[in-house]
């Protein structure tokens, strides 16, 4: 609100961003996940998950009562972080498997950069064999990819903090498993579903926009399907709240409790039909009928029964591994994919603010530098440039804190994209803050990725291109290369 109007339009939080060219004119079938795709949830759900899992640890796993003093901190963690189980280390890793220094935490305390480097054999690099495999679960390192993992990371850090703070010995693997099991129990026991069902106005956001998106697609002759891990009773109540009692008429196929990501890779699980009360039926599934509800199944039978293959299918989800990240979707079956990234809206607003402040600092620094270069010898100009670079580095640390004081942006380290960004680019053709962004585009719109220069395509610094300043250390150092 404090920025000039022209600055606020630098990047639009309601825009859709393309990693790959895709024409909606060619898309005939739209698929959706439910949680955090069709149904967007309020952040107030996270403390409920944290508190319930914390109490489960104390009451069922007999963890120390002192853990109850911890409350959920929504500002602590970000999505996409990695957790080294044996080292109890939560950290941000870039696209090249390097730990971003200053973003490693054990419990709630930062770990010095020197210790992080020492822990990994004198380097910031995490070897490939230790890193997460395709679905985010490596032999010793786990990546937290979905939005539900935010309270899980917070609880894990709080429990580790309590054990370390009280000098209690513990097995890192056992502690990690107990915390993840406690979080899982919140879902398996249906606690989260109960909270949402009791107060949908509080927890479900943008329901009217979801209805508008689905209705618009159907009005233009598109076919729709839903594949979710959530149970039918929960999905039914949520869709009735957002869309109305006839929501099933919008979808050609509805699949619940699909058990993703196994749904995309394991061909052994058959589809089961549910009756109107949600009870399992025993008849063999020879076709997937509109208006009916199916449970579990697998992608291979889905493709065989629907013949929905290739780029005419566009599937949306929020989890980069179990939704748009299913390798079979893109490589083997050619589906186009869209990622829903709710954090994108806030990150873009911060980027706009940072770019505005950065432009002022950049202009002031360059103006002063050019004035000095006209008056003093080149050596002193270099000293001025070095001072300016130092100020830029300090500004870089400030920028990190704007996103998140501990871990910065979910999309970028200081210089490189994050590991999360790498997966986002690899596994999604489009990404956006919410499904409602589709309402801002025609149903035949073509998205083009921005052409970004490769390193060998951009020989000059941008400040050189803008100001004509050619006497820089970069060019002088490169002058001997022929």
Q: Which residues are annotated as a binding site for Mg(2+)?
A: 33, 318
Give the Cα separation of 246 and 249 in Å (integer): 6
Active site residue 33: yes
SS3 content of the chain, % helix, strand, coil (to 5): 45, 15, 40
Q: Which candidate in 26, 33, 118, 463 is catalytic?
A: 33
3-state secondary structure of 294: strand
Per the omega criterion (within 30 degrees of 0), is the bond before 261 cis?
Answer: yes
Which residues sit in the known binding site for GMP? 35
The Cα–Cα gap between 141 and 48 comes to 26
**Helix, strand or coil, per DSSP, at residue 459:** coil
Check if 171 is active-site: no
Q: Exposed, middle or buried by CB within 10 Å (0-12, 13-18, 19+), for 436?
A: middle
**3-class state of residue 179 by DSSP:** helix
Instruction: Give the pairing type, strands 29-32 and 223-227.
Output: parallel
CB 239 within 8 A of CB 215: no
The residue ranges of DSSP E strands in 138-252, in sequence order, are 141-143, 204-205, 223-227
Quickly count: other Cβ atoms within 10 Å of residue 373's Cβ: 17
Angle at 100 between CA 94 and CA 104, to 5 degrees: 120
**Cα(425)–Cα(131) distance, rounded to whole angstroms?**
18
Asked if 152 and 144 touch (Cβ cutoff 8 Å), the reply is yes
Instruction: Say what the alpha-carbon torsion angle 231, 233, 238, 240 is, to the nearest 10 degrees.
Output: 140
Q: In angstroms, rounded to a whole number, what is the distance separating the alpha carbons of residues 228 and 213? A: 18
Q: Residue 202 contacts by C-beta under 8 Å, 6 or more apart in sequence? A: 42, 44
DSSP code at position 417: B
Strands 204-205 and 40-41 come out as antiparallel
Question: Distance between terminal CA atoms of the chain?
Answer: 51
Active site positions, annotated: 33, 35
């Amino acid at each position: 609100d404090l920025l000039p109007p022209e600055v606020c339009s630098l990047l639009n939080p309601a825009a859709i961003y393309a990693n790959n060219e895709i024409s909606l004119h060619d898309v005939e079938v739209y698929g959706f996940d439910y949680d955090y795709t069709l149904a967007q949830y309020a952040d107030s759900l996270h403390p409920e998950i944290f508190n319930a899992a914390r109490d489960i640890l104390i009451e069922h796993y007999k963890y120390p009562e002192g853990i109850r003093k911890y409350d959920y901190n929504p500002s602590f963690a970000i999505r996409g972080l990695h957790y080294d189980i044996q080292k109890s280390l939560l950290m941000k890793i870039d696209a090249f498997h390097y730990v971003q220094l200053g973003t490693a935490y054990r419990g709630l305390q930062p770990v010095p950069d020197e210790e992080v480097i020492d822990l990994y054999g004198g380097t910031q690099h995490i070897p490939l064999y230790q890193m997460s495999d395709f679905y985010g679960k490596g032999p010793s390192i786990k990546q937290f990819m979905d939005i539900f993992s935010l309270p899980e990371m917070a609880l894990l850090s709080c429990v580790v903090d309590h054990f370390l703070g009280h000098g209690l010995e513990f097995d890192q693997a056992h502690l990690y498993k107990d915390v993840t099991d406690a979080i899982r129990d919140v879902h398996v026991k249906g606690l989260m579903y109960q909270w949402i069902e009791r107060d949908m106005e509080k927890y479900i956001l943008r329901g009217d926009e979801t209805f508008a998106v689905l209705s618009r697609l159907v009005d233009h002759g598109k076919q729709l399907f839903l594949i979710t891990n959530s149970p039918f009773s929960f999905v039914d109540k949520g869709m009735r709240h957002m869309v109305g009692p006839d929501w099933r008429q919008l979808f050609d196929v509805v699949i619940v409790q699909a058990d993703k990501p196994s749904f995309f890779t394991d061909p052994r699980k058959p589809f089961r039909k549910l009756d109107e009360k949600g009870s399992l039926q025993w008849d063999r599934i020879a076709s997937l009928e509109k208006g009916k509800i199916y449970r579990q199944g697998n992608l291979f039978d889905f493709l065989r029964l629907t013949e929905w293959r290739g780029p005419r299918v566009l599937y949306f989800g929020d989890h980069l591994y179990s939704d748009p990240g299913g390798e079979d979707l893109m490589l083997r079956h050619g589906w186009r994919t869209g990622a829903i990234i709710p954090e994108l809206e806030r990150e873009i607003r911060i980027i706009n603010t940072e770019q505005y402040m950065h432009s002022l600092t950049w202009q002031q620094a360059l103006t002063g530098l050019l004035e000095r270069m006209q008056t003093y010898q080149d050596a002193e100009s270099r000293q001025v440039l070095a001072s300016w670079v130092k100020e830029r580095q300090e500004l870089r640390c400030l920028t990190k804190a704007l996103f998140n004081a501990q871990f910065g942006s979910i999309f970028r380290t200081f210089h490189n994209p994050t590991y999360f960004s790498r997966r986002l680019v690899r596994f999604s053709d489009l990404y956006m803050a919410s499904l409602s962004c589709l309402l801002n585009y025609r149903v035949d719109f073509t998205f083009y990725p921005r052409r970004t220069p490769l390193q060998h395509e951009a020989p000059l610094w941008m400040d050189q291109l803008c100001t004509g300043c050619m006497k820089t250390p970069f060019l002088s150092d490169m002058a001997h290369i022929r």
